Amino acid sequence: MFYIYILYSQSADRYYVGHTSDPARRLIEHNTVEEIKFTTKFRPWTMLLAFEVSESRGEAIKVERFIKRQKSRTFIKKLIESRDNPDFFKDFVVDVVG
């Protein structure tokens, strides 16, 4: 199963959206891997949301790209606020993936 996850850096007041098959492992990697990448300079990261998308990595990438194309903190915050409504995410994924 692939997931979309949203991380937040309080020190930089930034969000990061990604996809993975293991959200817990990805959070650890974002906070500990020595390789210099985008998320390295904004540590520490907290995971605010992770939701199931599909067995297909391609569909997870579609949803991730959709969220990133919105270029909207407000949109990301609305997703996070919806975390207690699993039906919202099922419908959201269906709408994005088609």
Q: Is pLDDT at 81 greater than 90 in this prediction?
A: yes
Please report, for residues 11, 14, 77, the alpha-carbon distance to residue 73 in angstroms, rounded to integers and kept in the order given.
16, 9, 6
The per-residue pLDDT for range 5-32, each reduced to its tens digit, is 999 999 999 999 999 999 999 999 999 9
What are the chain's domains?
2-97 (3.40.1440)
> Strand, helix or coil at 69?
helix
Quote the pTM value: 0.95
The per-residue pLDDT for range 41-61, each reduced to its tens digit, is 999 999 999 999 999 999 999
Q: Are 79 and 49 contacting, i.e. CB atoms less than 8 angstroms apart? A: yes
Location of structure tokens 């991730």 = 64
> Strand, helix or coil at 65?
helix
Q: CA angle, 61 as apex, 58 and 65 as ends, to 5°? A: 145
Lowest mean pLDDT among 43-57, 63-77, 80-94: 80-94
Mean of per-residue pLDDT scores for the chain? 96
